A and B are shown apart, each in its own frame.
Chain A
């Protein structure tokens, strides 16, 4: 398996533009997580899905952020409109069913909003 795949790896956009980040989890994993990492706030959980259903989105900063998981192999995180304070590295992670609480992280998308 190729692991968790995220695209794009880098995104530079201007304030006010829509940004869409994409994630393909590991096949067979039933949990998918979106995280944001900044120097100031560390690694923060934004939202997670179980079997494609959003379970907890309490970490989503505001209504400008939305996430979808239309099927087991694809998820998106959208920011509309984007703001400079959204600049961060966004990670997607997936986890297999079972007792071991091991999340597999993707390489991340580095977002810069000018």
Chain B
């Protein structure tokens, strides 16, 4: 499994854009990058997945540079309800390879 490194915590004010970067220097050719969000007292929830360049959905954007050794999750105009732990995972989409959650990044949104 490719190891990932994320900041332990981040603070942001409401209404700001938040960018959380994940390093994955040993990413393999067939690996995808997946992000999950976990609220207190809940299970993690899938946010977004990508392979290269940019992926956008109704919740977030995922930016992946050409070398794919890092990725950035971008949350536009965060609100207090975005306070959560965000996990970056790297692995293949088939089988069950995408299973190491790590410690994640604890995002705190401040009013």
Interface pair A55/B102, CB less than 8 Å apart = no
Interface pair A101/B43, CB less than 8 Å apart = no
- Rounded to whole angstroms, the CA-CA distance of A33 and B36 in the bound complex is 16
- Rounded to whole angstroms, the CA-CA distance of A55 and B103 in the bound complex is 25
Report the contact-size class of chain A (Cβ under 8 Å from the partner). Answer: 20 to 34
Contacts A101-B49, A102-B49: A56 and B102 contacting too (C-beta < 8 A)?
no
Q: Which residue of B lies closest to A103 (CB)?
A: B46
Residues of chain B at interface, number, CB under 8 A? 22
Residue A25 interfacial (CB < 8 Å): no
Give chain A residues whose Cβ lies under 8 Å from the Cβ of B44: 43, 91, 103, 105
Flag B76-111 by CB within 8 Å of A: 1 or 0 each.
000000000001000111101011111110000000
Flag A17-47 by CB within 8 Å of B: 1 or 0 each.
0000000000000010100000000110100
* Interface SS of chain B: loop
Which one of A55, A95, A105, A108 has the highest number of Cβ atoms from chain B below 10 Å of its Cβ? A105
Give chain A residues whose Cβ lies under 8 Å from the Cβ of B42: 105, 107-108
- Rounded to whole angstroms, the CA-CA distance of A104 and B36 in the bound complex is 10
Contacts A91-B43, A101-B34: A43 and B101 contacting too (C-beta < 8 A)?
yes
Q: How far is the CB of B98 from chain A (nearest CB, A)?
A: 5
Flag B11-54 by CB within 8 Å of A: 1 or 0 each.
00000000000000000000010100000011111100100000
The chain B residues found within 8 Å of chain A, CB to CB, are 32, 34, 41-46, 49, 87, 91-94, 96, 98-104
